[in-house]
Structure 1
């Protein structure tokens, strides 16, 4: 059940994310007054192991000392139950960032929760929507959009020159909010990194001070725009790891170092158990199976059939099971 507040409990300014479940009692939505309207909508902790967004908001609240923010703000603090134990999502839960309006998941507690949040925050005009995340793999900081319009691209490029456009997975916060207001997902690097927290704080503070989102196109040299063209997952029922421990699949330990670089044709991705055929599957943004376009099994190795640009590759086994092995990108040319 959604908890609602119109002021910040004192404990929220000093607590860790693991304390939030006890303090808030569940997912919570705050409305905080500001010197300017309409409000900014900020979402944090959709995944319990991604604390940087909450820590950045915490720093912003401390900075303004309980006074008026530069701009009013809606704040949604998500999966506090998973944050208590530092897990992305708890067993039996639907991933919060697959549960927003537009999802293809059956109606459940999480989808009802997100419908409630969207209904409340969109009852009056909004300025913009920002959803903050961490990665588990080695990635640059980057922004994501679901609409290729100027305001969305400006909002994303304010965070990073690297911007990703995607339409899947369904049910993500930024796609739901894109129906109402310019929205972005921010990927702030790995949890616990000073640079990740500092960058998130600076971005939020800048957005709170923005008079308006620039309405002129982003200059081509100011943006490196990519599109998600496929999602790669491990087939169900197979064991895998990132070390030589005798699993069905042993992925290379440096797989995440290819993120936003080139995984070249013929490059080995994993060593396979003897006799194992294709252990992964890849689907494009329309849901079509394009595994054979991307991968080949040869001499007991899973190899890249064609050169590709991976993103969000991780060496965290649990995250691979809960989400995916990596996404495959393609560049989008920006007109000069």
Structure 2
């Protein structure tokens, strides 16, 4: 399959092509789109993907704003705008993926099946031919919460890229078919989670980080870093069984297998001690939850325990990516967690 059937291309787009607002630009995009901007140093390229999830617009907003300003970047820039189809479904930027489609950020591995697989394969082909010195994948968190970065490698280059945007880095050995696994091609690759999709602060963070990324001669050495990076290693991923029910309420109705308080997102990146309840469990107990670590062992007793119908951490934990979106809680995961120290739970 020729990639031009799957992707559209924009080279050094002028403000006329871009429309006045990101929404106007999105309306003009017909397919997932590759945007190339020539840099002062034509011998090097940096890459950035965004909108892999159609409901995570901060990266697109930042890119549109930067492109309108018509700056020349330090090096050639390759931008990959992924989830154009789900993002266009009204109300715009409300769908993570197409109703019958797959999560694009789980498709960057063989076999490249279906429409999303074809898009992922075409995007990887663009990266292989551009040979970028580094790659960023810019997202929003599934709930409100602070910014952080995720990577499968923890070295100076990955920390330096992280520091363009945030001071929290999660290092994971779990492989899900995400674009950040491109790191295995010896190209430093970092996922940036800018904060909530409705949050102006997240849009601003995406823009300021993008400006640093495109304008600095060197983004891979830690001497240039904005701040010290706090690294959390190998979080476990807590998933809800597909048939389980979840509600977000101040107290349980007795109908759901799991009830979490509506403000649970405030726990993101805070330490939760073993005497602080996280929510309520139904009659099925903890059997509706699985804890998946990078080495696939499951040991829920080290993560959560139940006392009188309430769930508590089994030890002090730091949890993040907590969502109050029941669809994401069921289709993706409830949250990730490490020990309060940042070390893996198991």
Query: Is TM-score (shorter-chain normalized) higher than 0.5?
Result: yes
> Do the aligned partners of 2:73 and 2:215 also contact (CA within 8 Å) in 1?
no
User: Taking structure 1 as reference, are residues 177 and 18 closer, same or farther at Cα in structure 2, changes over 3 Å only?
Assistant: farther
Change (3 A) 1:164 1:218: farther
- Give the Cα–Cα distance (whole angstroms) in 2 for the partners of residues 266 and 47 of structure 1: 36
Residue 197 of structure 2 is matched in structure 1 by: 191
Deviation per residue, 1:261-311 (Å, 9 max, x gap):
112114322223346453311111112212222122332223222221101
Q: Separation in 1 of the partners of 2:12 and 2:282? A: 56
Paired residue for 1:116? 122
SS at match of 2:41: coil
Q: Distance in 1 between matches of 2:236 and 2:58?
A: 27
- Aligned match of 1:139: 145
1:60/1:205 contact within 8 Å kept: yes
2:330 to 314, 321, 326: 321
CA distance in 1, matches of 2:72, 2:222: 30
Using the TM superposition, give the Cα deviation of residue 230 of structure 1 relative to its aligned residue in structure 2, in angstroms: 0.4
Alignment partner, residue 278 of structure 2: 269
Partner of 2:239: 233
Give the match's secondary structure for 2:170.
strand
2:96 maps to 88
- The answer to whether residue 255 in structure 2 is matched with residue 250 in structure 1 is no
**Structure 2 CA distance for partners of 1:272 and 1:144, relative to 1, 3 Å:** closer
Q: Could you list the per-position Cα deviations for residues 2-25 of structure 1 after superposition, in whole angstroms to 9, with x for gaps in the alignment?
A: 2233243735342444862x4222
The alignment status of 1:75 with 2:79, answered yes or no, reads yes
**Aligned residue in 2 for 1:303:** 312
CA RMSD of aligned residues (A): 2.5
- C-alpha contact (below 8 Å) 2:46/2:76 kept by paired residues: yes
Q: Which moved more, 1:245-254 or 1:141-150?
A: 245-254
Which ranges of structure 1 fall in alignment gaps of 5 or more residues? none
Shift of 1:90: 2.0
Q: Distance in 1 between matches of 2:243 and 2:151?
A: 33
State the secondary structure of the residue aligned to 2:287.
coil
Matched, 1:14 2:14: no
Q: How does 1:32-181 map to 2 (within 5 A)?
A: 32-37=37-42, 38-64=44-70, 68-85=72-89, 86-101=94-109, 107-181=113-187
Question: Aligned in 2, Cα 1:280/1:164: closer, same or farther, shift over 3 Å?
Answer: same
User: What is residue 278 of structure 1 aligned with on the other side?
Assistant: 287
1:42-69, Cα deviation, whole Å (9 max, x unpaired): 11101111100000001111112xx643
Q: Is the 8 A contact 1:278 1:296 kept in 2?
A: no
Normalised TM-score (structure 2): 0.86
Shift in Å, 1:158: 2.6
For structure 2, list consecutive stretches of 5 or more residues without a partner in the other structure: 1-5
Tell me how far apart the structure 2 counterparts of residues 228 and 26 of structure 1 sit (CA, whole Å): 35
Bigger mean CA deviation after superposition, 265-274 or 5-14:
5-14
**8 Å Cα contact 2:291-2:299 kept in structure 1:** yes
Query: CA 1:62/1:217 → structure 2, altered by over 3 Å: closer, same or farther?
Result: closer
Partners of 1:164 and 1:225 within 8 A in 2: yes
Report the secondary structure of 1:122's partner residue: helix
Whole-angstrom CA distance in 2 between matches of 1:177 and 1:113: 19
Looking at structure 2, the residues matched to 119 and 179 of structure 1 have their Cα atoms a distance apart, in angstroms, of 12
Q: Is the 8 A contact 2:45 2:130 kept in 1?
A: no
After TM superposition, the structure 1 stretch with the greater mean CA deviation from structure 2, 279-288 or 264-273, is 264-273
Q: Partner residue of 1:200?
A: 206
